[in-house]
Structure 1
Amino acid sequence: MNNLLIQIKFAWHNLKKKPSFVSSVIITMGLTLGALLCVLTLAYVILFKPLPYPDAERLFRVDSTVNVEQRKPLEGLYSYPGLMGLYQRQDVFSTSAVVINSNDVESSLAHTPAMKVSFAMPEFFPMMGARYAIGRGFEQTEAIDSFNPVTVISYKTWKNEFDLRQDILSQSVTFSGVTYRIIGVLAESFAEPAISYIGYESDAWLTWDYNFRRDLRDNWAALISGYILVGKLQPSISHQQAEQKLSMLLNETWQQNTTSHPHFKNSQTSVTLTSLKDIILSDSQSMIYLLLIGIVGLVVIACANVTNLFMSRTAEKKQQLAIFAALGAKKSHLFTTLFAESLLLMSLSIMLAMGIALGGFELIHRFFTAIFPRVTELSLNGFMLIAAIVIALSLAFIFARISSNMINYRALNTALQSGGKGTQVQVSKRVRQILIVSQVAIATVLILVNTSLFREAAITMTQPLGFNTENSYSLGLSYSGRPRPPAEQVQPIINELINQLAEQPEVQMATQSNPPFNAREDATFTLVGHEDPIVTSANMIGNDYFSLLEQPLLQGREFTKTDLQAKAQVVVINAELAAQISAINPNTEVLNSQIYFGKIPITIIGIVQNAQLPWHKTVQGKFNLPMREGSTGFLIKLHPKQHLSRERIGELLKKIDPKWTVWDYVNLHDLHLQYLFPQIIMASTTGALALLTLLLAAVGLYGILSYSTQMRKTEIATRLAIGAKRNAIFKLMVKDNVGAISLGIILGIIILLGLFIGFSEVLQEYLSYYLILMFAITLAMISIVALGAAYLPLRQYFSKPISTLLRGE
């Protein structure tokens, strides 16, 4: 150990004289290893780190499915009484709880912030091992039917809305007219399980009795999504036994209460249990593996580049190594000398890498919370430290071993006697060929994969929507009271607000309507003479909707105020759905024909141009129904370069009825960008990886071919002296390396085939004729890089006099 420390000090003394070499190694390895540590830690947290909940392997979510004869199964839906009966009568869980996620406006704070709220039963927090920064969680005093309006808020809410005030337990919050006394603040370290969807973090937890679905407690026919039943399985009961018992229990009560309902004749219910880990992991596993493969590929290319630098460094040190050998140093001692230098460089690189990884964690916290689960748990941890140490030691050993294998120990004394001339420290042609093959293979894989993914994301980002979002806003309202007034009492308030908005000088147009991105994806209808339902997407819109969004009407008309007031049974469909209907009924004119919702006939009064929503790869059929009375969604179009603030709308609303507040007010263009965010991230990440891969491959190939050229400079000078043309010299260098480059491309293709076989389900959507074009582009990139790397080292020989080259100068 003392000898190694001495060697490290000696290495530091020598490296200070080579700042360009040191900076090249540290920057190259620091950047790539930083990305590797970041992704490795992300993979560990998501895939392998135990969930931070007691007995996490026994925690399950219960999902219901209703199977109705001749209809698509209704998955993930519960009736309120069916859910409560299942919760109260089950005996397969040692503890269980029901949660509903929602959104509401906190009306007691001056700026009335919109918050994510969750209604939960008292058992939920102990089941998740919740800890508290202050106060307590729900207890039996907040059990069902206790009607105790209290809340537990998140640490973020305590910090952002209450400035971490210490008297927080004397404060309260108000949602929908109910004032909840704050009884606790969750610890900052509490990781809310993603049991509904990735990225959801509750701002406040409210007692179950005040949930917004309670009015459905006796309604068996109302099947609603969003109910989340979680439980801790009894140790003596298996997963399959629990599913069977719960299915029988739910189906029994379902049959007893729905047999007379016309929509649920001959229907059955069943449940499936999904482990909490599988729910949280979702479909992130494949994304993590693909990201890891990409980063590892970059690291391998970077290692090949740095290997070339170390070999050149070893060749430079041949005089020093010869002196060591003459003084009695054995080959093992020379290895220790080389290892000390590489260990020092890798230690500095890994320190930079850890800083970059921590910065990567911050970026992931900020931009990827809706893409990857458990990102709040990313931090400097034991796994990251161990991985950093193992990587640094392993790479230091590999680089030292490769460098030491270059040394012809017996020839070192000869080198000393000849003044350092000779070729006893050289990179063999075989090693150079291996480096070329590995870099080209990995570069081929990474560039093709990343350019293909980039293309898919770019297509989605650049495809036209089919309507104009500029200067258009979506507005949603919230009622701060219980119960909410009936629709006929709400509509006059809505009409008055529309009139008030229309009078504002900034406003060009306003209508009662849902935004264009708010579409139900599983709506069904039937055609005359056809029993098979057609599944499509649907939205509820108001008058002037298409005019406001500048979406062209191809035939017929759009809705009028009269249609909305009279609750007319009319519909406007898009051209894609019109084409589908025409294909089924080719002899029927689509406009003014009828479709059926159940037994209700609806007349098609208009056909509108197709719109391409960001989450669909192809145009989908869609129909639009008139906005329901009392619905509190609005679209507002402003004049160009005008701004209407949320506070201004709130003031208008307060004058009409102070119990109504602004829940949501967002620019449609910004909303579109939110939906495109995964594609934006994909394009940015894959584009950067492709460019970085190309850059690293270019640098690596240039280094290897430059070394090869230097080894043959006498031959090059001789050929030039006897009349060889520059093109002939260039072709010679290309010919010598074209085999390795071709082999690298073939190896890359084999790796790609393996990836497509191993990840066929994930990559299936990317298999198309365009992949051939992407492959051609990849080959072109690799070829240009290889030709450039072969030509650039020759320029110094072409620009010097031949006599100078022959003298070895």
Structure 2
Amino acid sequence: MSAYWLMELRVAMRALTKRPQFVLTVVITLALSMATVISVFSLNSLLLLQSLPFKDAQQQYVVDFKLDFAGKTFPSLPVLKRRFVENQTSFESASLYVGETRTLELQHQLFKLETAFVSASYFDQLGLATTHGRAFNHNEKLNNFTPSTVLSYQLWQEKFSASPAIIGRQINIDGTFFSVVGVLKKGVLSPDNLASEQPQLYLPLDYSNADLFGNKNISEGDASIIAKGNANNHTSYLNDVQSLANKLKTEINNPLLSFGTLKAHVTPLREAIIGDSDRLSLLLLLGALMLLLVACANLSNLFIARSVESKQDFAIHVAVGAKHKQLFNKLLMESSLLSFASGIMALLIAVWAIELIKFIGSDSLPRLNQLSIDSYTLLFSMLICCLLALFFSYIPFWLSRNASLNQQMQTSGKGGGKQNSARSRVALLLGQSALVSMLLCFSSLFLQKSLTELEKVTGFNTEQRAILTLERKNKALSKGELASALPAVIEQIRQLPEVTNVALSNSSPVIMAGVVFPVQKSIDSAEYMLSVNKAQPNFFDVLGIEFIKGSTFSQNSAEATYEVILNQSSARLLLGENWAIGDSVFVTGRPYKLVGVIKDTFRARYLRSQLGNELVIVPYNKINGDMLPSEQIVLNIYHGKSKHFNFSNIDSIINSPTSAFSITSLQSLQDVLEEEVHLAKTTAILAASFCLLTLLLAAIGVWGIVNYSAKMRHFEFGIRMALGAKKVHLLKMMLLENIKPLSFGMFSGVALATLIIQANAAHFSLFGYLQVGYLAPMIIAMILTTLIAIIKPVTQVVNDAPMSALKREQ
């Protein structure tokens, strides 16, 4: 038996090597389509099939409190969450998590690291094990102020050379020395819903900047609660949590809690991490499977056309005694070679595609740091290869046995055979064009979203601009000391030979996060929670921000105290279309005079989705009369005297021994903008590539259908040409026969895609609705592609002399 299959393998390989064009078309098309399906399936496997890597994951809950105020939702105070953890009795245990950034000083080098400040019970509750040392215990409880730290496995490997002597070592974190008590095991992670990046350092809660005790004038930071209880007890927990929250609200003396409605939320940990991402991943898988279905439909036409060319070989095999089973084995071996070669190539491409998914989906999809080709994905890939091998071998085998169908495809004239053949062809073309149109619609959504992002006018000049963000070098420095030291630093930078001007603000122009405050038209009108930014009067000139009307703040600080500048979006929101310079705007209940309205500027996508496009800008340090703890110190530098800015000069100024500041970031404004639009560029390239692949599949499919139909009708073409028909007439006839089902299929596909998008508006809201300006070029490209795919095979058949066609039929 093995000798028989080895012989079939050699025969199949010889047969395929004689048709390299056919082999390359099949392998490349299948590999690209399968790679898309495999990479998206691996995402679904991670989100739907794999359990969370935490102890008793089904019993873990995320407890949160939100303040509903002025039409927007805000996180509650850290002190409320601390009090809840200390007073709750419903859960078996509860832990706090605060995410911040800290600086590790190592061998005179500074490293900014994502840092988690956690309760002593955090590691044990989630089952986060260590490979060296221990996790936190009662020694690291709140108010003990024990300077201990646990390192991530990655940090231990990269910064400490995986030294086992790390336990007990003192490391400098923001000027305080902490003793390393443990190193987490490889692959041990914190829940994705707690932080945008996995923490590299774990410190006790005592060292967090979050206002856990409500001692600060303005509450700073946020905290998350992970609680362990009984599975499937969500409703009971929610009632208990809300009741305790209402009680604590009255006990905590903070005016913010009295402004809005406090709502408790209790969410299973898996649901908190995954959210609606499972639905999005299923939609992506559906789209990928549609692409594979189109590829299979298209390639099946190539296999059918090839079977037509090989029908003489089949007839000879049968004549010399070959059984149908042997014919099927021959076809199965060929299709298996093609399918498994495609599968191997697809897995290699999928490895790269998974990295692309991690990059593109980093802001919207959870658990991507765990995404890889797992055992489920490998089994799924093998199943696809087996099914494709059976599918591509059975179709030509079935056609070779079905004499009636073969006769129908060869018949011409006006008999029933032609009608049945026409119905088969119309059904194939209609389904083909409908599927391709749907895929083009969905891919155009991704394309239009990313292109819209790229087409946004920045609203400021990025050339010869640099952004310097500073922070306190010593946390013990008061805000007054910082304010006194800052003018000298600005003047030193302004004196650099290439620098033209420097402007102080509390947020960089791309981010423009500021601080959210209530803003209203009048004291009695509706309040809007808007991003209020601070800037010096020269801020707009330094960045080249254009005024629609009005001008910048008064240079006299006393006169500028209660002046405000709005962007166009906030002016329309607060004052309507008929806004005018001199109108009053109330910020935190205090009237400000409108002195200017600027054009809307580019804003980071994640902030735009949370805070909108509205910006309010006031003179620096005029809200609450002091610099807020959460504010940044941003120096916007215009180096107009030189295209290239020497960043080392800034380093020497800021990092001098007497400086009160350290550098958080120093980049050209163009680089800052490029970082924001890089994702949009990558998504646009990916979407455009997907569109091109879809059009290629459409061309292959239509070519296969028309090529098969034309070859089956070459006898008819010969007769028509012998009777005087011109080649152009035959070409026109075939175009008319095929254009109608293709056009109807395109219309049906677009209509069905539109209905699907509208029915799932919540999931497609991020991408908006189909825009004719983006979809029309794709449909036109599809029409041109299909026209070429029709003309090419028909031309090949009709170019033969009519008598040659008649002789071949004999």
Establish whether TM, by shorter chain, passes 0.5: yes
In structure 1, the partner of 2:737 is 736
Cα distance in structure 1, aligned partners of 2:461 and 2:637: 12
Aligned mate of 2:496, from 473, 494, 504: 504
Structure 1 residues 599, 739: CA separation in 2 closer, same or farther (over 3 Å shift)? closer
Instruction: Measure the CA separation in 2 of the matches of 1:411 and 1:210.
Output: 82
Distance in 1 (CA, whole Å) between partners of 2:113 and 2:216 is 30
1:663 corresponds in structure 2 to 664
The answer for the alignment partner of 1:135 in structure 2 is 133
Work out which of the residue numbers 279, 282, 297 in structure 1 matches 2:290. 297
Query: 1:42 is matched with which residue?
Result: 43
Residue pair 2:717, 2:798 contacting (<8 A) in 1 also: no
Equivalent in the alignment of 2:57: 56
- 2:479 pairs with 487, 493, 510, which one? 487
Residue of structure 2 equivalent to 1:719: 720
The alpha-carbon deviation at position 486 of structure 1 amounts to 1.8
CA distance in 2, matches of 1:79, 1:202: 19
Equivalent of 1:86 in 68, 78, 84: 84
* Aligned mate of 2:244, from 232, 249, 265: 249
Q: What letter corresponds to residue 334 of structure 2 in structure 1?
A: E
Inter-CA distance 67–310: structure 2 relative to 1 (3 Å threshold): closer
- Contact 1:105 / 1:663 at 8 angstroms: preserved in 2? no
Specify the SS of the correspondent of 2:300: helix
8 Å Cα contact 1:448-1:774 kept in structure 2: no
Residues 639, 656 of structure 1: alpha-carbon distance in 2 compared, 3 angstrom cutoff: farther
Cα distance in structure 2, aligned partners of 1:808 and 1:747: 40
Is 1:162–2:163 an aligned residue pair? no
Deviations 1:382-436 (A, max 9, x none): 1011101111111111112211110137899x9xxxxxxxxx9xx9655544432
* Alignment check: 8 A CA contact 1:371 1:678 kept: no
1:152 aligns with 2:150: yes
SS in structure 2 opposite 1:406?
A: helix
The residue number in structure 2 matching 1:420 is: none
1:488-508 Cα deviation digits (max 9, x unpaired):
111122111111111112322
Verify the 8 A CA contact 2:308 2:708 in the aligned structure 1: no
Letter in 2 for 1:728: H
Task: State which of 356, 363, 368 in structure 1 corresponds to 2:356.
Answer: 363
Distance 1:256 1:17 in 2: 84
Matched to 1:211, the amino acid is S
2:727/2:799 contact within 8 Å kept? no
Residue of structure 1 equivalent to 2:391: 398
DSSP 3-state at the match of 2:52: coil
SS in 2 for 1:113: strand
For 2:96 and 2:234, locate their aligned partners in 1 and report how far apart those are by CA, in whole Å: 19
Query: Do the aligned residues in 2 keep the contact of 1:152 with 1:186 (CA within 8 Å)?
Result: yes
Shift of 1:87: 0.7
Secondary structure of the corresponding residue to residue 150 of structure 2 = strand
Q: 1:791 maps to what in 2?
A: 791
Shift of 1:168: 2.9
Which residue matches 2:74? 75
1:596 paired residue number = 586
Distance 1:373 1:20, change over 3 A: same
Residues 57 and 441 of structure 1, relative CA distance in 2, 3 Å threshold: same
1:666 Cα deviation (Å)?
2.6
Partner SS for 1:606: strand
**Is 1:693 equivalent to 2:694 in the alignment?**
yes
- Residues 220-264 of structure 1, C-alpha deviations (whole Å, 9 max, x = no match): 9755552111111235x8211112112221221221333xx6665
Structure 1 residues 781, 602: closer, same or farther in 2, change over 3 A?
same
Compute the displacement of 1:732 (Å): 0.7
Q: Secondary structure in 1 aligned to 2:132?
A: strand
Seen in structure 2, the aligned counterparts of structure 1 residues 644 and 692 have a Cα distance that, compared at 3 Å, is same
Q: Is the 8 A contact 1:578 1:607 kept in 2?
A: yes
Scaled by the length of structure 2, what TM-score is found? Answer: 0.89
* Superposition deviation, residue 733 in structure 1: 0.5
Counting only pairs closer than 5 Å after superposition, residues 320-359 of structure 1 correspond to structure 2 as 320-359=313-352
265 and 231 in structure 1: CA distance in 2 versus 1, 3 angstrom threshold: closer
Q: Match of 1:112, SS?
A: strand
- Aligned twin of 1:417: none
Q: Which residue of 1 aligns with 2:780?
A: 780
Paired letter, 1:401: Y
Residue in structure 1 matching 2:380, options 387, 395, 415: 387
The correspondence for 2:551, drawn from 553, 557, 563, is 557
1:267–1:687 distance in 2 versus 1, CA, 3 Å: closer
Determine which of 287, 295, 311 is the counterpart of 2:304: 311
Name the CA shift for 1:461/1:282 in 2 (closer, same or farther; >3 Å).
Answer: farther
Secondary structure of the structure 2 residue equivalent to 1:673: helix
Assess, with a 3 A threshold, how the Cα gap between structure 1 residues 638 and 276 changes in structure 2: closer, same or farther.
Answer: farther
Q: Does the CA-based 8 Å contact 1:105-1:176 persist in structure 2?
A: yes
The one-letter code sitting in structure 2 at the alignment partner of 1:209 is D
- How many Å apart are 1:365 and its aligned residue? 3.9
State the shift of 1:694 in Å.
0.6
CA 86–567 in structure 1, closer or farther in 2 if over 3 Å, else same = farther
Q: Kindly provide the amino acid, as one letter, of the partner of residue 250 in structure 1.
A: A
Taking only the aligned residue pairs, the percentage that are identical comes to 23
**C-alpha distance in 2, partners of 1:515/1:390?**
51
Query: In the alignment, which residue of structure 2 is the partner of 1:185?
Result: 183
Please state whether the residue corresponding to 2:500 is helix, strand or coil: strand
Aligned partners of 1:464 and 1:746: how far apart in 2?
Answer: 34
Q: Which amino acid aligns with 1:505?
A: P
Contact 1:77 1:225 in 2 (8 A): no
Range with bigger deviation, 514-523 or 83-92:
514-523
- In structure 2, the partner of 1:239 is 234
Q: 1:685 to 1:96 in 2, by over 3 A?
A: same
1:762-791 deviation per Cα after TM superposition (whole angstroms, max 9, x unaligned): 3357666x6345554444233222221221
Which deviates the most, 744-753 or 464-473? Answer: 744-753
Cα gap change, 1:432/1:599 in structure 2, threshold over 3 Å: closer, same or farther? closer
Equivalent residue letter for 2:761? S
Looking at structure 2, the residues matched to 121 and 529 of structure 1 have their Cα atoms a distance apart, in angstroms, of 43
Q: What amino acid is aligned across from residue 546 of structure 2 in structure 1?
A: P
Q: 2: CA distance between counterparts of 1:6 and 1:398? A: 22
Shift of 1:170: 5.0
> Structure 2 vs 1, CA of residues 665 and 208 (structure 1 numbering), >3 Å: closer, same or farther?
same
Counterpart mapping for 1:276-675 below 5 A = 276-408=269-401, 431-483=424-476, 485-513=477-505, 514-516=507-509, 517-520=511-514, 522-528=516-522, 530-559=524-553, 562-563=556-557, 568-583=561-576, 590-613=580-603, 615=605, 616=608, 620-628=613-621, 632-639=633-640, 642-644=643-645, 647-655=648-656, 657-658=658-659, 660-675=661-676
1:641 and 1:353 mapped to 2: Cα distance? 49
Distance 1:778 1:632 in 2: 47
> What secondary structure is seen at the aligned counterpart in 1 of 2:561?
coil
- Pairing 1:94-105 to 2, within 5 Å after superposition: 94-105=92-103
Provide the C-alpha distance between the structure 1 equivalents of 2:572 and 2:380, rounded to a whole number of angstroms.
57
Question: Could you tell me whether the CA contact under 8 Å between 1:65 and 1:73 is conserved in 2?
Answer: no
1:537–1:620 Cα contact (<8 Å) kept: no
Q: 1:531 to 1:37 in 2, by over 3 A?
A: same
Give the distance between the partners of 2:802 and 2:515, measured in 1 at CA. 75
1: CA distance, partners of 2:504 / 2:667: 15
Matched-pair contact (CA < 8 Å) for 1:510–1:634: yes
Contact map agreement 1:612 1:619 (CA 8 A) in 2: no
Q: What residue number does 2:411 align with?
A: none
How much does 1:741 deviate? 1.6
Structure 1 unaligned regions, length at least 5: 415-423
Residue 229 (structure 1) aligned to one of 189, 206, 225: 225
For residues 222 and 536 of structure 1, do their structure 2 counterparts lie closer, same or farther at Cα, with a shift above 3 Å needed? closer
**Matching residue of 2:121:** 123
Alpha-carbon distance change, 556 to 107 in structure 1, aligned in 2, over 3 angstroms: farther
The answer to whether the Cα contact below 8 Å between 1:79 and 1:222 also exists between their aligned partners in 2 is no
Give 2:685's aligned residue.
684
